[in-house]
């Protein structure tokens, strides 16, 4: 019996031992990952970690130095980009400004010589799907950034690609728009049962859209799993930092926090910004260094006894302590992750 890792993945994308080089630079270093059909995977990593190169290699835009890329069991080596049946959506959409919105969306259908009536109906359907009914005759240059990305998404989905490749699809948008479009993207991908590989440096984008996550650093895959798994147990302190944890504690301070949280495991402790809460019955003590009111809560920086300076929150309803005051703190176990000693 082959072990699971040796099995050829029959349904969906299977990247095995992939290495991509730019001259002497190893951009993607021996990466393996599997993406079953119908799922959405986010590859998360800082800029320059090789995630975009990985995406371009899957698209057929960068030749691999070694390793293989398969889809539904078929090796894609030597298959040119336009024959892979994928679609790639760039960070800035890369709409064709010399064509109307409808003509952009129709582009992949025209390429495949679909009948005119079918193209028109499909374009209307897609524009409705991305919430841009009636935009067909507009020029891309007249659209806002979010609208452009929606058009790019509609264009990429037009022929129901076997695999949708998304290169930081939301990064160019502002925060509010990013959140809304992230929700929509997830809904649209689920409704169309699209298999998608998304790369991003924004953990919120990744969590908002993906069924699976893979963390990349310096060309290598550091960790992969469901968002909940990755979230609960970052592979190391760097991974925790990249996932949005505000602080990682080690040694004696880590043990203090673990005891206060009532956790028996051992290891490094990663804390979210709201992991510590002002609570008169809390097991930790500290002195407030600074306080800043926000609509949801008062955000504090507290010198925690035996631990050090950490972020904490005081929820509305309780009187917010000012700088110099002594407070008691409780630890919210759901906002703490333990990194086992490896």
Partner 1 sequence: MTGAVAPVTAGHPTARRLLALLGLAAGPVAVLCVFFVLPVAGMLAEGFWPDGTFDPQGVLEVLARPRVHRVLWFTLWSAAAGTVLTVLLGVPAAHVLYRLRFPGSRVLRAMLLMPFVLPTVVVGVAFRQVLGAGGPLASLGLDGTPAAIIAALVFFNLAVVVRTVGTAWEGLDPRPAQAAAALGASPRQVFLTATLPALRGAIVSAASVVFLFCATAFGVVLVLGGLRYATVETEIYLLTTQLLDLQAAAALSLLQLVVVTVLLYGAARTRARTAAVARRRTRARRPGRTDVPAVLVTLVALLLVAVPIVTLVVGSLQVGDGWGLDNYRALDTTGTDQVVLVPVTEALGNSLRIAVDATWMSVGLGLLVSVVVTRRSHSTAERRVRGGLDGFFMLPLGVSAVTLGFGFLITLDQPPLDFRDSPLLVPVAQALVALPLVVRTLAPVLAGIDDRQRQAATSLGASPLRALVTVDLALLRTPLLAAAGFAFAVSLGEFGATSFLARDDRPTVPVVIFKLLGHPGSQNYAMALAASVVLAAATATVMFVVERLRVPGVGGF
Residue 47-66 contact track with partner 1, rule CB under 8 A, x = bound = ------------x-x-xxxx
Residues between 2 and 41 that touch partner 1 (CB under 8 A): 2, 6, 8, 17
CB of 187 to partner 1, least distance (A): 23
The size of the interface with partner 1 (CB under 8 A), counted in residues, is 35
Could you identify the residue written with the tokens 């505000």?
246
Please report whether residue 142 would count as binding partner 1 according to CB under 8 A. Answer: no
Please report whether residue 172 would count as binding partner 1 according to CB under 8 A. Answer: no
Pick between residue 140 and residue 234 the one whose CB is nearest to partner 1. Answer: 140
Q: In this chain, which of 11, 32, 94, 274 binds partner 1, going by CB under 8 A?
A: 94
Please report whether residue 82 would count as binding partner 1 according to CB under 8 A. Answer: yes
Choices 28-36, 150-158, 283-291, 317-325 (CB under 8 A): range interacting with partner 1:
150-158
- SS3 string, the chain, reads CCCHHHCCCCCCEEEEEEEEEECCEEEEEEEEEEECCCCEEEEECCCCCCHHHHHHHHHCCCCCCEEEEEECCEECCCCCHHHCCEEEECCCCCCCCCCCHHHHHHHHHHHCCCCHHHHHHHHHHHHHHCCCCCCCCCCHHHCCHHHHHHHHHHHHHCCCCCEEEEECCCCCCCHHHHHHHHHHHHHHHHHCCCCEEEEECCHHHHHHHCCEEEEEECCEEEEEECHHHHHHCCCCHHHHHHCCCCEEECHHHHHHHHHHHCCCCCCEEEECCCCEEECCCCCEEEEEEEEEECCCCEEEEEEECCCEEEEEEECCCCCCCCCCCEEEEEECHHHEEEECCC
CA 41 to chain centre: 8
Please report whether residue 108 would count as binding partner 1 according to CB under 8 A. Answer: yes
Please report whether residue 158 would count as binding partner 1 according to CB under 8 A. Answer: yes
Task: Find, among 132, 140, 126, the residue nearest to 98 by Cα.
Answer: 140
User: Dihedral of the CA atoms 101, 106, 107, 108 (nearest 10)?
Assistant: 140
CA 329 to chain centre: 32
CB of 208 to partner 1, least distance (A): 23
Residues between 272 and 291 that touch partner 1 (CB under 8 A): none
Q: Are 277 and 283 in contact (CB under 8 A)?
A: no
CB of 20 to partner 1, least distance (A): 11
Please report whether residue 326 would count as binding partner 1 according to CB under 8 A. Answer: no
Please report whether residue 90 would count as binding partner 1 according to CB under 8 A. Answer: yes
Q: In this chain, which of 49, 156, 288, 313 binds partner 1, going by CB under 8 A?
A: 156
CB of 113 to partner 1, least distance (A): 11
Pick between residue 16 and residue 212 the one whose CB is nearest to partner 1. Answer: 16
CB of 17 to partner 1, least distance (A): 7
Please report whether residue 253 would count as binding partner 1 according to CB under 8 A. Answer: no
Q: In this chain, which of 25, 46, 74, 77 binds partner 1, going by CB under 8 A?
A: 77
Please report whether residue 140 would count as binding partner 1 according to CB under 8 A. Answer: no
Choices 90-98, 188-196, 267-275, 283-291 (CB under 8 A): range interacting with partner 1:
90-98
Other residues' Cβ atoms within 10 Å of the Cβ of residue 133: 11
Pick between residue 96 and residue 309 the one whose CB is nearest to partner 1. Answer: 96
Which residues make up the interface to partner 1 (CB under 8 A)?
A: 2, 6, 8, 17, 59, 61, 63-68, 77-78, 80-82, 85-88, 90, 94, 96, 98-99, 107-108, 111-112, 155-156, 158-159, 165
């Amino acid at each position: 019996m082959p072990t699971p890792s040796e099995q050829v993945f029959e349904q969906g994308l299977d990247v095995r031992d992939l290495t991509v080089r730019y001259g002497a630079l190893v951009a993607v270093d021996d990466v393996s990952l599997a993406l079953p059909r119908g799922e959405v995977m986010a590859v998360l990593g800082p800029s320059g970690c090789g995630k975009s190169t990985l995406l371009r290699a899957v698209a057929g835009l960068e030749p691999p130095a070694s390793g293989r890329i398969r889809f539904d069991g078929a090796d894609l080596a030597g298959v040119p980009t336009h024959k892979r049946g994928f679609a790639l959506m760039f960070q800035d959409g890369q709409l064709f400004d010399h064509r109307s919105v409808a003509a952009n969306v129709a582009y992949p259908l025209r390429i495949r010589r679909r009948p005119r009536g079918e193209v028109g109906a499909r374009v209307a359907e897609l524009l409705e799907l991305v919430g841009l009914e009636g935009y067909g005759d507009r020029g891309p240059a007249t659209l806002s950034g979010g609208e452009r990305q929606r058009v790019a998404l509609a264009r990429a989905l037009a022929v129901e690609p076997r695999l949708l490749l998304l290169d930081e699809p939301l990064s160019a948008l502002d925060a509010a728009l990013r959140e809304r479009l992230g929700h929509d993207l997830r809904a649209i991908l689920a409704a169309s049962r699209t298999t998608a590989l998304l790369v991003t440096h924004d953990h919120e984008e990744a969590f908002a859209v993906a069924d699976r996550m893979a963390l990349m650093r310096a060309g290598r895959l550091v960790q992969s799993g469901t968002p909940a798994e990755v979230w609960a147990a970052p592979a190391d302190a760097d991974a925790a930092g990249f996932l949005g944890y505000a602080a990682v504690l080690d040694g004696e301070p880590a043990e203090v926090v673990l005891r206060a949280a009532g956790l028996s495991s051992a290891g490094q402790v990663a804390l979210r910004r709201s992991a510590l809460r002002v609570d008169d019955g809390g097991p930790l003590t500290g002195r407030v260094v600074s306080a800043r009111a926000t609509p949801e809560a008062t955000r504090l920086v507290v010198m925690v006894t035996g631990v050090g300076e950490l972020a904490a929150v005081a929820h509305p309803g309780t009187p917010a302590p000012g700088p110099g005051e002594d407070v008691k703190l409780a630890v919210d176990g759901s906002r703490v992750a333990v990194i086992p000693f490896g």
